[in-house]
Amino acid sequence: MATYEYLCSRCGSFDVKLAIGTAPKTYGCPVCADAARRVYSSPGLTLTSHAVAALHDREEQAREAPAVVSEVPPRRRVPRRPHPALSRLPRP
C-alpha cells in the first residue's frame, strides 16, 4: 500500500492509501465529496537499522500469514550451577 496526497480546492490536502500504481488523477474529498487533484510530493523516507527493518518485515509477514503452532515446545532444562559463595565454605 502506498500513501497518495490529494488537494481539495475547498478543504485542503488529505492522504489516501491505495495499492501501488492504482491512484487516479482525481479523487473524491472525504469532507465535501468534491473532486480533488493528486499532488506529487517528496516520499517519506527514513533510515532504519537492519535489525529494525528485519523486525518490521517479520511483523508484516506475520500479519498476512501467522505461524501456526501445533504443540507446546519441549521445555529445555538449564543445568543449575552452584552459587560461587558455596565453594568457599568448609568441606566436611
Q: What percent of the chain has pLDDT over 70?
A: 100
Cell matching residue 83: 552459587
For residue 35, the tally of other CB atoms under 10 A from its CB is 14
Distance of CA 29 to the CA centre of its chain: 27
pTM: 0.48
Q: What is the pLDDT of residues 35-55, one digit of tens each?
A: 999 999 887 777 888 999 899
Spatial distance between the Cα atoms of 51 and 9, rounded to a whole number of angstroms? 43
Q: Which residues make Cβ contacts (< 8 Å) with residue 90, sequence separation at least 6?
A: none
Spatial distance between the Cα atoms of 20 and 8, rounded to a whole number of angstroms? 21
